[in-house]
Structure 1
Amino acid sequence: MVPPQQDHDLVYNLRLSSVGPGCVTGSDVIHDLSGLDLTMKLHYLKAVYFFSSHAVEGLTVMNMKEAMFYLLNDYYITCGRIKRSESSGRPYIKCNDCGIRFVEGVCDETVDEWLETDDDSKRNLLVYHRAIGPELPFSPLVYLQVTLFKCGGISLGLSWAHILGDAFSVSNFINNWGQHMAKVNVNSSPALAPRSLTNTAKPEAPSEPLSAKQVNHVGDLWVLANNCKMETFSFNLTTKHLSNLQAKIGSVSAFDSICALLWRAIAKVREGFEPQIITVCRKDPCHDDSNVLGNNQIIRSIKASFLVGESDLNKLATLIANDQDQVCDERNKIEAAVEKDNGCTDYIISIYMPRMDD
């Protein structure tokens, strides 16, 4: 027998099932994807939430699934599948209640032992992920993995197709699920009605966006080809780290300080090829949280007119914090660029830094 401590067996006994809405959504329900949604088609959001044994005492996988049935009555769009228009080839979501993919796994470590590891590759074992395609009608848009640790604690790993909605949509999805599990009254119907673009005027074509980069067409396998050798590196930021960083930089927010620190670090590593422009995403204060599904975040490109790698952190953070006027919001530019080919051209968002503390 292969001992479970080998890398590929750290999380084992994986069981896959599908969970859909408790009520039938209806026939021929379609959710049209906006230009901003389609810009995000090659992006996926991943998150892992850890809970101690005390926090989940008495909670079973069946309890989680039962709460999910009720949650998905409102988030039924997440249970749909991608299809293409026969006339234009533009992707849309068919709300057919196929469900999200629910994964169960077991780990022989404790939560504390897992968190002490320095091996970033291990973290992928807690998030079951498959890119959309190549058979679009059979590809789930959401994967949710529950891993049971030997201490009684659990982790919840989420893989979310960014085409569904932004990081704030993900946060609301998880929070609402938690409220259903706690049997708290939930503000339902976050998705309201599926979006229709039939009568929506196409945006005018302003200048090309700096934040969106056109890539080679990927067809029906929605993953960006990457020929570079890359590794994942994680930053463990404690309250003390943030306090020290804030003390050095000044009055800007922690988010702006972290962005400045990462921007300068990347610039130093690239040695002469430093990025002069980054993309920062923030929550739109005018957006109604009762309609949480969608890519509604403000997308701004911030350009430095100086050498970033040699810059003062305070100067860099202040540039990020102050560059929030409406002119910098590139959403209309992105929409126009995508709609030129009726949503059939592939884009990615470059150097993407989403703000989650709003």
Structure 2
Amino acid sequence: MSIVVTKSSPEVVVPSDPETPTGHIQLSSFDKFLCSVPVPLLLVFDKPIHHPVDTIKRAMSQALVHYYPIAGRLAAGADGGEVITCKGDGEEGGRGVLFVGASASGAVDDVVSSPALLKDLFLRYPEEEFCCHADPLLLMQVTEFSCGGFAVGVTWNHVLADGAGMGQFLQALGELARGVPSVAAIVPVRSDDSVLAAPPPRGSGGVASIDWTCAECTTEGMAFLDLTISSSFISGVKATIGKPCTAFEVIVALLWQCRARAVDCPAESPASLVFGYNMRALVGAAAGYYGNCLIQVSVVATSGEVAKGEMKDVVTLIQTAKKKIGDETKKGDVVVVEQEQLQLGYNTLMVSSWRNLGLEAPDFGSGRPARVMWYEPQFSMPFFAICPPCKGSGGDGVNVLGYIVKKEHLDAFMHQIQARLAATTVY
């Protein structure tokens, strides 16, 4: 019997207090840099709570009193740019979060292990690839499974927040769902002077100046992968690589190198990497700031450098790009260094790390999520998200989801991955 996800009619959830603040929120250079693109996030809970749809919808209404810009809309500002406009109930243009309750006829594990079903656990924007001014900044679907578990699917306009900001909001939402009277010990901040004062991040040091309109960008014919990299492998690399490195650097170096070997392009052809870098500490963002403070760092290398180098050499490429950002940042001022625009295509791999952002911390009453997942039926280029450990791994390792290679390169890629994870020497 096939599994079916049945959705209720969409509702617009507004702040529970009619005196919730209104007005305009100025966008920072970080907000503008990331553009109005949707970001999907799925939190999967294998233990039940009482009436999850009603509980979370009620908590959302309460949370929007404190996080009222999330209920806003994008609009044209007086200077010709964009602002987040926060209106009162009944005002033209409206406000609120689009919310849907749903039920699945299967158990948690049956649904989340199937990409064909994962797409039914999210709401999508009408334009799918971009968000319009009239669209809510946040869409949420709460799905109850036949086993008693539930999932919280969140899709938001990237102009609203980055992963760290959304992690903060979802933790506050969980507190309210559990009946905690205050939102959090940290006061929510959406407009922060230090972030607003920071100059535009594009073209900064190793920051990617990206041509997002490249016609070659497509995931058509690509394989969606759900992998777990064990902590023992990560520890082994760290122990033998000869210098300090992070789990992020090990995972990205491994997948970047295995991909380059599987695709097997000419040694001189480009094999670029783009990854997100949290700038909160470098620009002095306030505690509780939940807007964007993220840049995209590029690493330009050749296929030969990535495929044929030792693991430590690939890690060094990533570390050098990260160090450049820190070296060129002085008390929140980013030193702008112009560079050639990066052309996206199959030769460029994009990475987003969702670890250590608080996305694994929301608790709606039955504990933290069993899985934190990224999924898009289609994406504009090779991409993977590094997520916290998934259920079944015993908390061991790191989960990776995304489109890394085309189907024609999948067998070669998996052979590379399996051989590296099973090897007694890590490089």
Q: TM-score interval w.r.t. the shorter chain?
A: 0.7 to 0.9
State the identity %. 20
For 1:73 and 1:212, the matched residues in 2 are separated by 37
Task: Go from structure 1 to structure 2 and tell me whether the alpha carbon gap of 1:355 and 1:215 turns closer, same or farther (over 3 Å shift).
Answer: closer
For 2:328 and 2:274, the matched residues in 1 are separated by 12
Q: Is 1:263 matched up with 2:256?
A: yes
Stretch of structure 1 that moved more, 155-164 or 182-191: 182-191
SS in structure 1 opposite 2:226?
coil
Map of 2:158 onto structure 1: 162
For 2:171 and 2:259, the matched residues in 1 are separated by 33
Map of 2:327 onto structure 1: 327
Map of 1:109 onto structure 2: 106
For 1:182 and 1:316, the matched residues in 2 are separated by 45
In the alignment, is the contact (CA less than 8 A) between 1:30 and 1:93 conserved in 2? yes
Map of 2:386 onto structure 1: none
For 1:228 and 1:19, the matched residues in 2 are separated by 34
Aligned residue among 28, 37, 43 for 2:37:
43
Q: Give, in angstroms, the shift of residue 192 of structure 1.
A: 3.3
Q: How does 1:1-358 map to 2 (within 5 A)?
A: 5=2, 10-24=4-18, 29-52=23-46, 55-85=47-77, 88=80, 90-96=81-87, 98-115=95-112, 117=113, 119-130=114-125, 136-184=132-180, 185-187=182-184, 190-192=187-189, 194=191, 210-216=207-213, 229-231=220-222, 233-237=224-228, 241-250=230-239, 252-268=245-261, 269=263, 271-272=265-266, 273-282=269-278, 284-285=280-281, 287-288=284-285, 290-297=287-294, 299-304=296-301, 307-321=305-319, 323-325=322-324, 326-327=326-327, 351-358=349-356
Task: Go from structure 1 to structure 2 and tell me whether the alpha carbon gap of 1:235 and 1:313 turns closer, same or farther (over 3 Å shift).
Answer: farther
SS in structure 2 opposite 1:309?
helix
Per-residue displacement from partner, 1:197-242 (whole Å, max 9, x unpaired)? Answer: 9x9696699778641314459xxxxxx995662545132316xx23
For 2:187 and 2:213, the matched residues in 1 are separated by 35
For 1:95 and 1:193, the matched residues in 2 are separated by 12
Task: Go from structure 1 to structure 2 and tell me whether the alpha carbon gap of 1:313 and 1:225 turns closer, same or farther (over 3 Å shift).
Answer: closer
For these two proteins, the number of residue pairs brought into alignment is 328
Question: 2:255 is matched by which residue type in structure 1?
Answer: L
For 2:198 and 2:248, the matched residues in 1 are separated by 35
Per-residue displacement from partner, 1:90-130 (whole Å, max 9, x unpaired)? Answer: 22211126111111111111012224x3x424322111121
Q: Give, in angstroms, the shift of residue 67 of structure 1.
A: 1.3
In the alignment, is the contact (CA less than 8 A) between 2:208 and 2:274 conserved in 1? yes
For 1:334 and 1:100, the matched residues in 2 are separated by 38
For 2:336 and 2:76, the matched residues in 1 are separated by 19
Map of 2:362 onto structure 1: none
In the alignment, is the contact (CA less than 8 A) between 1:29 and 1:194 conserved in 2? no
In the alignment, is the contact (CA less than 8 A) between 1:78 and 1:141 conserved in 2? yes
In the alignment, is the contact (CA less than 8 A) between 1:163 and 1:295 conserved in 2? yes
Per-residue displacement from partner, 1:36-55 (whole Å, max 9, x unpaired)? Answer: 21121143321111112xx3
In the alignment, is the contact (CA less than 8 A) between 2:26 and 2:83 conserved in 1? yes
For 2:132 and 2:53, the matched residues in 1 are separated by 29
Question: 1:257 is matched by which residue type in structure 2?
Answer: V
Per-residue displacement from partner, 1:288-327 (whole Å, max 9, x unpaired)? Answer: 5633321113543334476112222233224424542423
Question: 1:254 is matched by which residue type in structure 2?
Answer: A
Task: Go from structure 1 to structure 2 and tell me whether the alpha carbon gap of 1:201 and 1:279 turns closer, same or farther (over 3 Å shift).
Answer: closer
For 1:92 and 1:257, the matched residues in 2 are separated by 39
Task: Go from structure 1 to structure 2 and tell me whether the alpha carbon gap of 1:271 and 1:336 turns closer, same or farther (over 3 Å shift).
Answer: closer
Task: Go from structure 1 to structure 2 and tell me whether the alpha carbon gap of 1:157 and 1:26 turns closer, same or farther (over 3 Å shift).
Answer: closer
SS in structure 2 opposite 1:307?
helix
Structure 1: 5+ residue stretches without partners: 218-223, 338-346
Task: Go from structure 1 to structure 2 and tell me whether the alpha carbon gap of 1:226 and 1:334 turns closer, same or farther (over 3 Å shift).
Answer: farther
Question: 2:228 is matched by which residue type in structure 1?
Answer: L
Task: Go from structure 1 to structure 2 and tell me whether the alpha carbon gap of 1:180 and 1:28 turns closer, same or farther (over 3 Å shift).
Answer: closer
In the alignment, is the contact (CA less than 8 A) between 1:83 and 1:136 conserved in 2? no
Question: 1:151 is matched by which residue type in structure 2?
Answer: C
Task: Go from structure 1 to structure 2 and tell me whether the alpha carbon gap of 1:107 and 1:353 turns closer, same or farther (over 3 Å shift).
Answer: same
Stretch of structure 1 that moved more, 319-328 or 308-317: 319-328
In the alignment, is the contact (CA less than 8 A) between 1:46 and 1:158 conserved in 2? yes
